[in-house]
Structure 1
Amino acid sequence: MVLVGGCAGIPDESQPVAVPQQELGQIANPDVQQPPRDLDPLTVVRDFVRASAQPISNNASARMYLDDGASKNWQPGKIANVIDDQFNTVYTAAQDLPANPNQVVVMVRGTNLGTLGADSSFLPSRSPFELRLLVNKQSDGQWRISNPPANIAMPYSDFNANYVRVPVYFFAQDSNTTVPDLRYVAGKPQSGLPARVVSLLLSGPSDQLIGAVRSPLPEGTNTEGNVTTTPDGALVVPLTGLGDQTPEVRKLIAAQIVLSLQAVTTNRVRLLSDGNPLVDGHEDWLFTDVPSYTSLASPGADLQGLMTVGGRIRSLADGQPINGPAGQGGYQVVSAAQSIDGRQLAIVESDNGRQRLRIGPYGSAAQVVNLFGGTLTRPTWRPTATADGTAGEVWTVVDGQAVVRVLRTSDGGWTGQAVNAEEVLTVGPITTLRLSRDGSRAAMVVNGQLVVASVVRAQDSVTLRGPRILQMGTLNGVVDVDWLGQDTLVAATTMPSQPVVKVPIDGLRLDPFNSANLTPPVTGITAAPGRPIVVADSSGLWTASDVGEVWRPHPHSFSPRAAPFYPG
């Protein structure tokens, strides 16, 4: 679809026209063509903005709209603005026009949705966008731009059409759980996609995840020659500079590379280190050869979820109260969280007008933690570092302001430590906090907005760093959030038109769920990999598996006040 530009019959401006959204990763035609002759300045500018999304051959398509001097000297920066598909191109006011009749100034006006950073990650934002371009009439009568911007601007749909989203994989700080880092690479030439992904992997995590993840690739690792496909169909990744790494580390490196490449190739991957197999006895890798590195971040199939109803905890599987005081009325349960392995419960309990935290084995008595407040957010568990480990860290937010992690002590007790959340609190009070099941990120509801931050751990402190408001200005009234996957969130809102939404962790897009059958307000939501999503509305509990499905009544919906939760 061609974005309709301004025409000669409307000398003052061109009307905004929406471009239909294309699926992420669809590749535009890379052929560089001269613009049609006799385009008016408004259309030249509009077409230049759209062509700017094609990075192939040093932005050759966009350079076609520049005059000779600008075309030779233009050096686009490493940061690009992604703007809404609806934008205007307008002439400046008469008093601002150049004296030369062969020059006009055209303003591009729209909404900035975010930026594609130098690290190839998307940073969401929402603000007015304005770009001022000088357009000159050339000796052949054609209008061309003479002052192209340092930072490219490209419409959302054109960005989607020309860039491929790739999860680049790193590891959690203290375990071998893989963590996806969403990045965007140019889709053309397609043959170079694997090399671009490997380059991103070698350059380390995005700015957002620095300090929150680790890479087993040692500093100084590079490729010896190009990432190429052999005549027998293997994609060769020739590494160099790995040094003396243990067999276990080499297997982690292999997993990193193969998992990161699965989005851009179906070839088997031949991993070499200085000409030899990276892993002894295993030169060629298929994606199915990589063992699971997410087991610690995924609840077992037998853990079907719980719900808080009327101060007690019941099973989502059969609706029955669970064993122990939490299910039998011994505590006045406000909210709760089950550890990922299912063996422990953290409970927020109402106590004489205040709330306090209890932690204990599932189905048994839970000890009181020395943590009280007017309100405590529903707890959330940090994953264990090993399969045989016991979960020993629970997070909650006291009175919307103090983020606390509660740690197991050597004598079996629990003690609270403050988390540095200064950057998040500048946005507002925190009413919901959910740690990702890999422990590297936190999703929060802050002042009714959906926020994601990285969890950065130092020797004696933990910080929530780099908070990002997802779909700012579009997604409001958020009341609850959970992790559908490692890179995808689902949220419940007070918005009647989209009470339940799905959002990637970088906030590039927003997908509303079908609102049929739901009776707003939706008050709670829970999700986990491979599980149906469960929401609570004013009539009870409902389930669906993905966007577009009609919500089905949950078979054990007791009350509109039920609050469902999966382990995590």
Structure 2
Amino acid sequence: MTRCGAGNRAVAVLVAVLTCALVTAGCAAIPTESQPRAVPQQNAGQPTQEIPEPQANLDPLSVVREFVRNGAQTANDHAASRAYLATRIQESWKPGSSVTVIRDDFGTVYAPEAEQPKDPNQRVVALRATVLGRLASDNSFIADEQKSIRKPVRLQRQSDGEWRIVEPPDNIMITESDFSEAYRQVPVYFFAPDAPALVPDVRYVVARPQSGLPARVIDLLLSGPSDGLAGAVRNPLEDTTLDSNVTTNSDGSLVVPLTGLGDESEQDRKSMAAQIVRSLQHVTTSRVKLLSDGAPLVPGQPEWRPSDLPAYDTVSSPSSELPGLLTLNGRVHSLGNGAPINGPAGDGTYDVVSAAQPINGQQLAVVERVGEGVRLRVGGYGGPTQVVDQQAKTMTRPTWRPPVTSDDKSTEVWTVVDGRQVIRVQQNPAGRWVTQRVNAFDLPDEGAITGLRLSRDGTRAALIVDRQLVVASVVRSPTEVTLRAPRVLQEGRMDSVVDVDWLDQDTLVVALTSERFPVVRVSVDGFRLDQYNSSNLMQPIRAITAAPGRPIVVADRNGLWTVSEIGAVWRPHQQSSPNAVPFYPG
């Protein structure tokens, strides 16, 4: 990739803007009895940089190309990009609040002669690119359909003979590689609505300078969940703000001074501490000093490290004592030793099509073949199950909502009926499992839904709709449950999805019909996609399962295969069989 450097550009040193330094000094001088106001810190710690002047005598194509390449430099309100604009519009140009991310192989060509101005001192360049998505105003990445775009960009020759842009694109554009270099992916944490499970909300902050990362992460956390998770998570920090700026003490601890708290319980304050410390652990190794109006946020514990937090992931990760299960020839077997499980699901009483075990392993949901259709059964693991009153020709493999605690039983299981209707089956006060429809009207209209997996924290759902991967948030109200803000991930690259499962709370593994990359790993926002080794796998691949800390297991034409990391060769699973379908709890 071509970069602006001292060897090919004349460098003009801009006047240093000392705002960040002045604010920091001002806060340090404020008397302790006053009420200082914190400033937004999205750009905290960003020094004024020396902005390279454009190289002399660039042709219009190169001017547009360099304008795009400099979009990764956010300092001084995108001064590096403004340098390629005509002087008269540099101040008036106000790019939109989102950043468009494009593939690295974008191109610049002259527009056809019919689109060119008659003025020889003006030229129109067509910027051609494939859009991957956009960085929204809430700093979340929103995947796009990877469509090709063509943007006309008008340039004019200036009085000094240099070409400059007079009609720039509406938004900042940045290549995928430059985006990965300029922005740091960070999860900020909120809570599942009714369980002590921390839920990651993947966001992106300016990566440099590194010293400003903690302040930028705190700003994101205090601004609340991204639009994609709004309504699906609980935020104990909802009414909390900063009393002053995030700073570093002389002893190396990071000080986060909060205000706006009332009579919150000690448990609520510990939850707030967990949100902050877990969110910061990806950008700092310092001890975190949490204050509320000058006093420790949690009485008796002013400083925190990640090791001070409880194990919040115990309710969203299967126990190591649960090896997983598989269905084979109408029965449910252990994925560990291959033996049929106890009860009618394992002894052949039921003709099992698919099944699911909740995260704590205490129950079992079974899709049973009956005549020309199927029906759902739900009950205790290893015992008899109750028939759910729901007729169907097909049902997707069931998926469980996590219990409130690891000792509780789950009260809800989901499936998709006949490729169209998403339902949840709940246990009523009388102990009967009854069907309720999920509001899924925001999902894509066309194509059957052939797969559904709830995340193990219960806040998201991954669906296969018309062979594409869709992720939506699960929003609950007293009267209904809604699949909200559905987004197609890696549209155009993953258009033949067979099965999907959650590797962890913000990562999925996907099985495809592709010979070249039959199994991939994709981030929950669709920005990152990694291919697993294809060695030993044979199409058709029928199923895939994954869980935190577990090897991935795939069912292909010949049997079960397993792998633990990207690049490793798939090895036969000890319970391999051509007709087996594996599944971990969840």
| Bin for the TM-score computed over the shorter chain | over 0.9
Q: Secondary structure in 2 aligned to 1:304? A: coil
Structure 2 counterpart of 1:240, from 224, 238, 259? 259
* 3-state SS, counterpart of residue 257 of structure 1: helix
CA-atom RMSD, angstroms? 1.6
Query: What is the distance in 2 between the residues matched to 1:427 and 1:435?
Result: 21
Deviation of 1:226 after TM superposition, in Å, equals 1.2
- Which moved further from structure 2: 452-461 or 424-433? 424-433
Change in Cα spacing, 1:71 to 1:189, as seen in structure 2 (3 Å) is farther
Partner of 2:168: 148
- Pairing 1:186–2:206 present: yes
Instruction: Give the residue type in structure 1 aligned to 2:361.
Output: G
- Tell me the alpha carbon deviations over residues 491-530 of structure 1, each in whole angstroms, 9 at most, x when there is no partner: 1111111111100010012111100011111110000000
Deviations 1:298-345 (A, max 9, x none): 110100100000001111111111111111111100000001110100
- Residues 92 and 107, structure 1, Cα contact 8 Å, conserved in 2: yes
Aligned to 2:151: 131
Taking the aligned partners of 1:522 and 1:69, their CA distance within structure 2 comes to 59
Residues in 1 aligned to 2:3 and 2:418: alpha-carbon distance in whole angstroms: 49
More moved, 82-91 vs 134-143? 134-143
Q: Counterpart amino acid of 1:564? A: P
Q: Superposition pairs for residues 48-447 of structure 1, below 5 Å?
A: 48-126=67-145, 127-219=147-239, 221-447=240-466
Decide whether the 8 Å contact of 2:360 with 2:407 is kept in 1: no
The question of whether the paired residues in 1 share the 8 Å contact of 2:222 and 2:238 is answered with no
Correspondence 1:564 to 2:551:
no
- In structure 1, runs of 5+ residues without a counterpart are 5-26
Distance in structure 2 (CA, Å) of the matches to 1:554 and 1:288: 35
Question: Does 2:519 match 1:464?
Answer: no
**What amino acid sits opposite 1:143 in the alignment?**
W
Asked whether the equivalents of residues 476 and 495 of structure 1 are also in contact (C-alpha less than 8 Å), the reply is: no
Q: What fraction of aligned residue pairs are identical, expressed as a percent?
A: 56
What are the superposed Cα offsets for residues 24-72 of structure 1, whole Å, 9 maximum, x if unpaired?
A: xxx9x96521122111111110011011122122112111211212222
Contact 1:83 1:129 survives alignment (8 Å): no
Task: Classify 1:271/1:427 alpha carbon distance in 2 versus 1 (closer, same or farther; 3 Å).
Answer: farther
From 541, 544, 552, give the equivalent of 2:560.
Answer: 541
What are the Cα deviations for residues 193-245 of structure 1, in whole angstroms up to 9, with x where unaligned?
111111111111000111111100132x2112211112211111111112221
Q: TM-score, normalised by structure 2?
A: 0.91
Paired with 2:543 and 2:218, the residues of 1 have a C-alpha distance of 40
8 Å CA contact 1:218, 1:242 repeated in 2? no
Cα pair 1:236 1:270 within 8 Å, conserved: yes
Does the 8 Å CA contact 2:224/2:238 hold for their aligned counterparts? no
> AA paired with 1:402?
Q
Question: How many angstroms apart in 1 are the aligned matches of 2:505 and 2:411?
Answer: 21
1:528 to 547, 561, 574: 547
Number of residue-to-residue matches in the alignment: 544
CA distances 1:369-399 after superposition (whole Å, capped 9, x unpaired): 1122000110000001123321110001100
More moved, 148-157 vs 428-437 = 148-157
8 Å contact from structure 1 (residues 271, 278) kept in 2: yes
Distance 2:59 2:283 in 1: 39
Please say if residues 135 and 143 of structure 1, whose CA atoms lie closer than 8 Å, have aligned partners that are also in contact. Answer: yes
**Compared CA separation, residues 31 and 263, structure 1 to 2 (3 A):** farther
Distance, in Å, in 1 between the alignment partners of 2:93 and 2:244 is: 29
* Matches of 1:352 and 1:121, distance apart in 2: 48
Q: Per-residue deviation at 1:411? A: 2.0
Deviation at 1:140, TM superposition (A): 2.0
TM-score normalised by length of structure 1: 0.94
Distance 1:388 1:312 in 2: 27
Q: Where does residue 16 of structure 1 map in the other structure?
A: none
Contact 1:70–1:148 under 8 Å retained in 2: no
Q: 1 CA distance for matches of 2:447 and 2:139? A: 29
Distance 1:95 1:421 in 2: 47
| Structure 2 CA distance for aligned equivalents of residues 443 and 34 of structure 1 | 47
Q: Distance in 1 between matches of 2:3 and 2:375?
A: 57
Matched, 1:34 2:59: no
Is contact 1:56-1:189 (8 Å) kept? no
Distance 2:468 2:485 in 1: 15
Write out per-residue CA displacement over residues 86-133 of structure 1, whole angstroms, 9 at most, x where no aligned residue: 111111121222222222111111111111111111111122222222
CA contact (8 A) 1:299 1:340 kept: yes
Unmatched segments (≥5 aa) in structure 2:
5-45
